[in-house]
Structure 1
Amino acid sequence: MGKTMTRKDIFLDLSIDDDGFGFSTSIADALAQAEAELVVLNDTVDSIKKLKPNCDKLDYALAASSGALCGVIDIFLVGKPGESPLGDITDKWFANRTMDFAKLFHPKKKNFDSLESALRFLENEFKVPYDQTGLGDAGRAIFDLNAKNHHFKSLAHNPSLLGLFFSMLDQFTNSSHFVTDGQLVSLQKADEKWELRGGNVPSKLFCGFTNWIGHLISDVAGSQSSARAGNRGMGIPSPLWTWTNDIIAIKAKLGLSVTETDKAMNELALNIFEKGYDTRFQVAQAIPVFLNDLLVRLIYAIRRLFSYFSETPKADRSFALMWKKCEPFSNPTVKRMLTVAHGTFCLVDIGDAVGRAFIEGGGSFNAVEFVLRLNVVGVGRFTISLYGETKRAISYSRAKREADFASKEITIVNNYIEGLKILSLKYDDAHLLMFIDDFEKSDAYAEAFGKSSALAELRNVPANKILKSKSDIDKFFGGK
C-alpha cells in the first residue's frame, strides 16, 4: 500500500494436482501486507522526532549560562594581543612545539639551549628564496617590507592553499611574491645562491613542500632575532585573515580590478597582524569557544544520565541504551543548546568589542580595536550552528508534510485492517473449507458436499445455484 489505495477483490483459489489439493485466500495476504505497510508508516511518523529538538527551559538556561561564562573568560583571559593571559600560554606552547620540531630534525642534539638556537637551526635547515625582510635588502624600497609585516605580505608565508601554491612557484622559479598597496608584485632572482634540492620533478615537489612546512614552523613562534631580544616576535598570519591577500592575488592573476573594499580589508588585516594578531593568538581565541562546546555537551549528557538511571529499572539497564539516551553529538536537542550557547557567547564578545572600540576611539568607532577583540573563531562556530539549524528546519518542514500524510494513511490502513479481520471471521475458511481434505477420501463425499453447501449459504449464494449433491456436481461439470 503506497500513497494510493487500490481495490483488491477477495477470491478463493483451489488447485488440484497428483499429490492432493491446495487452497489459498487473499484475505490473509492482504492482512499481512497491510500490517507491514502500517509498520513503514509508523516509522515515517517517528522519523520526524529525530529532527525536532526536545529542549526544556532548564536546557536553554544552562546553555545560555555556559555561553555567558565563556564570553566572560574571553573578555578577561583572551582580550587582545599583548594583553592576553591565555595568549601568553599559547605563545609558550608554540615555542615548546617549535623546539620539539627542531629536535626531531636534529636527533643528535638532544636539547636546544633556547628557542633562539632552535629557530636558528630551522631557518638554516629550511631555506627559501622568498624570505626578504626589508632589512637592508630590496624589499624595503620595492615592497615596503619590514620585520613586522613581511610574514603577512609574503604570500608564501601564508598558511593557506594559495600560500602553498606561491611557495612552490617561488622555489621553482627563484622568485618572491608579495601583496602591497592592493597590488601583487614579484621579485625575480630573489636569491642568487638558491637551488631547490631534488634530482627530478617529484623529488623537487617533495622538497618544496617540506621547505614550506618547515619554514612556517620556524616562523610560527617568531624569528631568532626576536627570541634573542626576549620579544614575542611576529608569527605567521592567521588562516582566517589571509583571504584578504588571496582575493588580491587571484584578481591580479585573472586581470580583474581590485576594489577599494578589497584594499581596505587587506589594510585592516595587515594592521591587526602588526599588532600581534597571528596564528598563536587565533589559537588562544579558540580556547573559550572549545570550552563552551565542551560544557554544553557535558551538561546535556549529565542531565540525560540522571534521567536514565531514575526512569529505567535496574534490570533493564544497559550501556547501549544509556549511550543512546545520553550521547551528546548527533541529536537535534544538543545542537539547539549549542546554538543558544554560541549565540550568547557572541553577544557577550561583540558587546565588549564594540564598547572597547568606542572607548579606544575616544567616542568614535575604532575598527582595528574592534577586530582585535572580536573572537572570529566564536563567530565562525556560531555561523556553523545557524547553518545546521536552517538545514534541520528545512528537513523538518519536508518530513512533517510526509509524517502528516502518513498519519492519515495510518488511519485508513487501521480501518482497512479491521475490515479484513471482520471478513476473515465471516469467511471462516479454516473451518468451512476443510472439504478440500475430504475430497481426498472417496468415502466422504456426502460430508464434503454438506460443508460446501454450508459455505455457499454463508456466502449468500442463491438457493437455486447451490450444488447440494454429487449428482448436482456431475451435472454441473457435465454441462447439463
Structure 2
Amino acid sequence: MDDDLLNDVAKILATQHHEQTVANQRTDELNQALNGVQGDLEKQSRTQVDAQSALDALDAESVADNQLDELDQILGDMEQILTAKPTVSKPVTKFKPLDSVTPANDWTSLVQASNEYADRHELDLSNPYYQMMSTREFSELSTELVNKFQISRLQKVDYVFSSVVGVIMGLVDALLVGRIKTGKDATGLQKTVDQGFDKIVIGAGRFSRQSELRSQKAAAIKGAAGKLTPSQLAQWDQRIKDAGSIDKHRAIKTLEKNFKVSYDAANNASIIGDGIAGMSANNHHLRSLAHDPGILGLITGIVDQLTGKATFIDSTGSIVRATTTNMEKDGVIQGPLPVRIVKATENWFGHILSDVAGSSGAKGRGAGVPGPFYAATQSLNVGSISIKGQDMTVAQTSDWLYKQGLDFRAFAAQSIPVLVGETLIRMYWFAKQHFYYGLSVQQSLPTGKNPDVNRLLLTMTSVFGALDFSDATVRSGFFQNMGEFLLRLNYVNALDLGFRSIQVMRNEAKHSQLTEKIDRDIQQEWDRILIP
C-alpha cells in the first residue's frame, strides 16, 4: 500500500479519534451538570417531605395559640420565598458548540477537511498514528517495539559516561602502567604485579617443599617402624618449618624439580639432535608452545608429556617436534590414559608456576612465560618494522618485545585499567537498569548478549585506545622511535578493542536480519489483508 495513502487514512482516523474524545469529554461535563441539578431537586424534595411530615404530625387540639402564631409565621415566610424572584446561587455553565469535520463527498475533500479541523484545534498530524493512542497505550507500544525490534535504549548520557570511563582508563594506563620495562627497571603497576607474582610463586614453592618434606617424614617414620627418636622427629619438623621461609630462587628450584616436564629446554644444548633455530636462554619460553599459559599451552603440554616430545616454533615460523634431555617423571608415562592426562595437567600447571616469574637461574626480573597465544606470533614472518635501525618482521618484533619484558606479567599489568573500565561500565549499566528503569536483578545483569552493553564497552575501549595510541605516538617522537612506541602500547586493550568491534558488528548484523524478517512478516500480513 502507498505510504501517502496510509498517512491520509491515519490523519482522518486521528481527527475522528479527536472528535470522539472531545464528545466523550462533553458527555462527562453534561453528566456532572445533570448530577448537580438532580442533587438540588432532591434537596428541595427532601425539604418538602420534611415540611409535610411536620404538618401531618401536628395535633390541632393540643396546639397553643402562640404555637399557631409561630406556624402562621413560618408558612408566611415559605410563601414569601416561593413567590419571590429567583436568584442565581451558582454560576451558569455555558457549553460551546462541538466542532466537527466538515462532511465531504470525495476523498480529497475529506482529507482537506480533516487537516482544517486539525489546524483549528492545533492537532499535530506530523505523526498521526500517535494521536490515536493514549499516553499509556503509546508507552506500552513503545516498549513492545523496543523489545521486538531490539531498538537501542542508550541515551547521550550513557555514551558520555562510557567516554569518561575510557579517559580514566587512559590516565591510569599512562600514569600507573606506562612503558614496559625489564629487569629491575619495572615501575608502577608493572612492578606491583611482578611483586604479586613473586609472592604467588614463593608461596607455591614453599607449599610444595613442605608437602614434599612431610611425605618424606611419613616415609621415614614408616621405614623405621615408628621408632624415630624425638631428636630425629624434631629435625624433620625443623626442616618443614624452614621450608616455609625459602626465598624466590629456592621456591622456583623446588617447583622445577617437583614438576619436571619433557618439553623444558633452556637452550639448544638441551635438544637432542638438531637445535631449534632462533632459540636462546632468554626466549626459550616463547619458542616452546607448551609454555603458553592458556589453552594452547595446556593441550600442547599434555601431548608433549604423553609422547615424550617437545613442540617449538623456530625462527622460520615452522613447528618443530624435538626430544629434550629432560624427561618427565615415570608417573606421567605410566598407568591408564586418564591418570596420565591428570598427572600431565598437574605437571603443566606446576611448571607454569615455576616459570611465570622467571627461571631459577635468571638474574633480576627474568623472562617469564609469554601471554596466551603470544607464541603464535613467531609464525608471522611478514612485514617490516624498523627498530633501532634494524628491519624486523612481525615475528622478530614480537620476539624483541618479549625480551624487553612483554611477558605474562606485563600483560597482567596492562589488563588492570581494562578491568577497571569493564567493572565501571557494568556497574553503571546494572544500577541504571535496576534502580532507574525498575527492572529485576536478572533483567539488569550486564551480560555479553546485551547489544547496548557491548556498545558502551566498545565506546569505552575505543576512547581508551585513542588516548593510548596518542600517548605512545607523542612519547615516541611521532614514530621516530618505533621501539618506544611499541613498548608503550596497551596490547590488552588493543585485543579488547578488536573483540568488542567484532562483537558489535555481529550484533548489528543479527539486528539487521531481525528487522528485515519483521518487515517481511508485516508486508505479508498487509498483503493478506488488502489483497483479496
Q: TM-score range by the shorter chain?
A: 0.5 to 0.7
Q: How far has the Cα of 1:184 moved from its partner?
A: 4.2
Following superposition, the deviation at residue 348 of structure 1 comes to 0.9
Report the AA paired with residue 253 of structure 2. Answer: R
Mapped pair 1:395 → 2:529: no
Displacement of 1:347? 0.9
Which of 280, 284, 287 is matched with 1:153 structurally? 287
Q: Indicate whether 1:300 and 2:429 are aligned.
A: yes
Q: Using the TM superposition, give the Cα deviation of residue 65 of structure 1 relative to its aligned residue in structure 2, in angstroms.
A: 0.8
Task: For 2:514, give the aligned amino acid.
Answer: A
CA separation in 2, counterparts of 1:93 and 1:85? 13
Which structure 2 residue ranges, 5 or more long, are not aligned? 1-140, 215-239, 386-391
AA matched with 2:335:
N
Which residue of the partner structure matches residue 323 of structure 2?
188
The answer to whether residue 390 in structure 2 is matched with residue 287 in structure 1 is: no
Distance 1:414 1:96, change over 3 A: farther
1:188 alignment partner, SS class: strand
* Aligned mates of 2:528, 2:321 — CA distance in 1: 74
CA contact (8 A) 1:172 1:196 kept: no
For residue 467 of structure 2, the aligned residue among 324, 348, 365 is 348
Structure 1's unaligned 5+ residue stretches are 1-41, 249-257, 309-319, 416-480
How far has the Cα of 1:212 moved from its partner? 1.8
The superposition leaves residues 208-235 of structure 1 with CA deviations (integer Å, 9 ceiling, x where unpaired) of: 3322221111101112233xx5x11111
Counterpart-to-counterpart distance in 2, 1:404 and 1:326:
29
Structure 1 or 2, whichever has the larger Rg, is: 2
Aligned in 2, Cα 1:187/1:411: closer, same or farther, shift over 3 Å?
Answer: closer
Give the Cα separation in 1 of the matches to 2:249 and 2:517: 66
- Inter-partner Cα distance in structure 1 for 2:430 and 2:350: 41
Of 287, 292, 297 in structure 2, the residue corresponding to residue 163 of structure 1 is 297
1:323 and 1:332 mapped to 2: Cα distance?
18
Where does residue 393 of structure 2 map in the other structure? 264
* Greater CA drift, 186-195 or 48-57: 186-195
> Which amino acid is 1:188 matched to?
T
| Compared CA separation, residues 335 and 186, structure 1 to 2 (3 A) | closer
Residues 1:98 and 2:201 aligned together:
yes
Q: Distance in 1 between matches of 2:178 and 2:428?
A: 27
Question: Does the alignment pair 1:123 with 2:252?
Answer: no
Quick one: distance in 1 between partners of 2:187 and 2:434? 37
Q: Secondary structure at the match of 2:374?
A: coil
**Structure 1 residues 45 and 407, CA gap change in structure 2 (3 angstroms):** farther
Deviation at 1:274, TM superposition (A): 0.5
Per the TM alignment, residue 196 of structure 1 is displaced from its structure 2 partner at its CA by: 5.8
Counting only pairs closer than 5 Å after superposition, residues 11-160 of structure 1 correspond to structure 2 as: 46=145, 48=147, 51-82=150-181, 83-105=186-208, 106-107=210-211, 108=214, 109=240, 111-134=244-267, 142-143=275-276, 144-160=278-294
Kindly state the Cα deviation for residue 376 of structure 1 after the two structures are TM-superposed: 2.1
**Which residue is 2:451 aligned to?**
332
Offset of 1:324 from its aligned partner?
6.4
Rounded to whole Å, the distance in 2 between the matches of 1:395 and 1:132 is 48
For residues 355-383 of structure 1, the C-alpha deviation after alignment (integer angstroms, 9 at most, x for no partner) is 33346x6x3x51x4333222222122222
- Pair 260,173 (structure 1): closer, same or farther in 2 beyond 3 Å: farther
Cα pair 1:127 1:215 within 8 Å, conserved:
yes
In the TM superposition, what are the counterparts of 1:458-469 in structure 2 within 5 Å?
none
Contact 2:268-2:275 within 8 A present in 1 as well:
no
Aligned Cα root-mean-square deviation (Å)? 3.8
Between the aligned residues of both structures, percent identity stands at 26
Shift, 1:236, TM fit: 0.3
Give the TM-score of the pair, scaled to structure 2. Answer: 0.56
Q: Which one is further off, 174-183 or 145-154?
A: 174-183
1:234/1:379 CA distance change after superposition, 3 Å: same
Assess if the C-alpha contact under 8 Å between 1:168 and 1:208 holds in 2: yes
Query: How big is the shift at 1:288?
Result: 0.7
What letter corresponds to residue 163 of structure 2 in structure 1?
A
